[in-house]
Structure 1
Amino acid sequence: MNDNSILENRSCGDIDNFKTNVYVPTYITVFIFGFIENVFCIYVFLRLYKKKTAFSVVMVNLAISDLLFVCTLPWRVHYYYYATRYWHLPHYFCKFLTYALYLNMYCGIYFLTLMSILRYFAVVHPIKGLKYRRVKNVQIICIAIWIFVGLTAIPFLAIGNNKSQCFEVRDRIVNMDIKIIFTMNLISLVLGFIIPFFIFMVCYILVIRTLLTSKANHLKQTTSRRKASARIIGVMVIFITGFPIYHIVRTIYIAELFPAGNTFNVSCLVWKTAVAASCRAIMNPCLDPILYYFAAETFRDKVRSTIKNAFKGIPTPIQQT
């Protein structure tokens, strides 16, 4: 299923206006803030980190993935802004933009899961886990994630659109196509979401338990551990409110679409919920930098020092007497 596979339906006649009103401001906002935030993050990781760490390697890969995706959003804005919904550009470019969405989404899920695994070894098994947190090993894993997600997302290029449209699914899908869509959703649901989500949750729950139950030598250390636990809970909330909702709604949509492959069978409520859920998933390039800030103390220090140095050269206005 395409993230925006919601055609105008006889029972939901205002869906086109709804999509325009929701997608266009969301895409514009995500493009502006996502571009600025991720360019800044990549600058911090590549220029200000004197020594590479396992966390910085994962975070820079996630920032690159987010940046590449937000650069595709202007074409989505252009398409949904005009009521005619006519795609003037080459058909293969439309397929690439759809592919870019899933590449970013599932790379993001895997990179965030990898961060949770690294945090687990750093907190729960700080000595035993050193060999798993070596920079070279993490770099190899990141490359493997790019290759794995890049290859497994290729079938999304096969989802058919009318060549005059983009980000849409035909009114009636042939039997073979609906079987492909059903199978793709099942595979991506298990490999791209359920398994990584389970690992993500287990790792962070164990990290929080270790932080809250381990003995602290003094009050300052206890306070620091509580703050770290609060930050991790914040990371978990951002993750949980995005990807699970999107995958649940997408699965419901396909369940209503299958087996007839007729989009007229999809209820208006499911369509509009799918629009909102896809928008929330697309917001992640803006939210991921917040995760870096919460999850990595070194990153917070670099950001604070960069902002402080930027304002240091600004002259203070002289008060008049």
Structure 2
Amino acid sequence: MSEVPPQKVFLAISIITFLIGFPISVLAFCSCIRKIHSKPIPIDILMLNLAISDLIFLTFLPIKMKEAADNMIWNMPFFLCRSDLFVFFLPVYSSSLFLTAISAERYVCIAFPAKYRSPRRIIYTIPICVAIWALVAATAILVYKTVYTDSDVADNTTNQQTRMREPQRCYSNFTPKQLTELLPLRLGIAVVYFLLPLLTCCFCYINFIRILLKLPLIKRQRRLRAIGMALGTLLVFASSFAPYNISHLVGFLKKENPKWRTTALILTTLNACYDPIIFYCISREMRSAIKVCANAFLRFYAYLKS
């Protein structure tokens, strides 16, 4: 992140993501909790964890808004910068894995319906969720240790001499020693959290659509909604995570921190805005809740107007 992107664009996208994503993610969280409490199924547990991941990201997104409003200069307590690796990047990694797990669950649902109805699948789903959170937490810790190695001479510190020389930026410039360890780690992250999940999602959803088209008993509207959900998820996954992970590959090949990496990260921020589309397509309760909220808002608006 050595080159600052247009801060107004960053701020605008962050605000849009927060205003759209936060209320719907809260709604999705409550909907999942209600469904799990009444009749739990594996996909509801996965969607609950995806909603939690988005809420963690969105709760701390105002910190990024403040940074963008300050022209990407870090004017906040520096412990918030160090925790940024956990509250900003950890949900990005976990979202990609939970989206992948949801795609696999949808494929199993339609390809192996007998196995999908087995109550034992709930027992397997919970350890999978725990394993995903453990993996992304371990990755964030590893990146944290790598980034703050030899940090006294980096731009990621509270060193007073550095403060006097130039404005502080968060997760900005890196020493050669840091880059030597960080760039291969980023390449591994791109493989584990993007390439493999993308291939898995493509396999699951392509076969999901292929099987769905062969089932004549499913209503046309329901079939089209399921196909739209599958194609939309693949499009969202690629558009949100591809630029950011391509920056990892480019950085590894060029042995440098790409100047356009933050611009790519802006697109990843939008993922928290796209996830509600998946919630809406999968969950009937979610659609009903959104309709109730929309009707209540329209009635309130009509009342104020009158």
Displacement of 1:253 after TM fit?
3.6
Separation in structure 2 between the aligned mates of residue 130 and residue 281 of structure 1, nearest angstrom: 35
> What is the match of residue 43 of structure 2?
55
1:125-274 matches, within 5 Å, as 125-131=112-118, 134-158=121-145, 159-160=147-148, 161-163=156-158, 164=163, 165-170=168-173, 173-174=175-176, 176-214=177-215, 216-217=216-217, 221-256=219-254, 258=255, 261=256, 271-272=259-260, 274=261
> What is the match of residue 24 of structure 1?
11
Query: Are residue 107 (structure 1) and residue 94 (structure 2) matched?
Result: yes
Letter in 2 for 1:104: P
Letter in 2 for 1:207: F
Secondary structure of 2:46's partner?
helix
Give the TM-score, by structure 1 length.
Answer: 0.79
Q: Which of 8, 13, 21 pairs up with 1:34? A: 21
What count of residue pairs does the alignment treat as equivalent? 287
Secondary structure of 1:241's partner?
helix
Letter in 2 for 1:193: F
Structure 2 vs 1, CA of residues 76 and 107 (structure 1 numbering), >3 Å: closer, same or farther? same
Letter in 2 for 1:68: I
RMSD over aligned Cα, in angstroms? Answer: 2.8
Letter in 2 for 1:167: C
8 Å CA contact retained: 1:30, 1:286: yes
Structure 2 vs 1, CA of residues 173 and 63 (structure 1 numbering), >3 Å: closer, same or farther? same
> What is the match of residue 151 of structure 2?
none
Structure 1 unaligned blocks of 5 or more = 8-15
Secondary structure of 1:52's partner?
coil
Bigger helix fraction: 2
Q: Identity over aligned residues, as a percent?
A: 25
Separation in structure 2 between the aligned mates of residue 118 and residue 133 of structure 1, nearest angstrom: 14
8 Å CA contact retained: 2:184, 2:252: no
Query: Are residue 6 (structure 1) and residue 2 (structure 2) matched?
Result: yes
The superposition leaves residues 54-101 of structure 1 with CA deviations (integer Å, 9 ceiling, x where unpaired) of 1111111111111111121222222232248244403x3311112322
8 Å CA contact retained: 1:54, 1:133: no
Question: Which protein shows a greater Rg?
Answer: 1
Separation in structure 1 between the aligned mates of residue 75 and residue 298 of structure 2, nearest angstrom: 48
Give the TM-score, by structure 2 length.
Answer: 0.83
The superposition leaves residues 126-153 of structure 1 with CA deviations (integer Å, 9 ceiling, x where unpaired) of 1134348722321221111111111122
Displacement of 1:311 after TM fit?
6.5
> What is the match of residue 153 of structure 2?
none
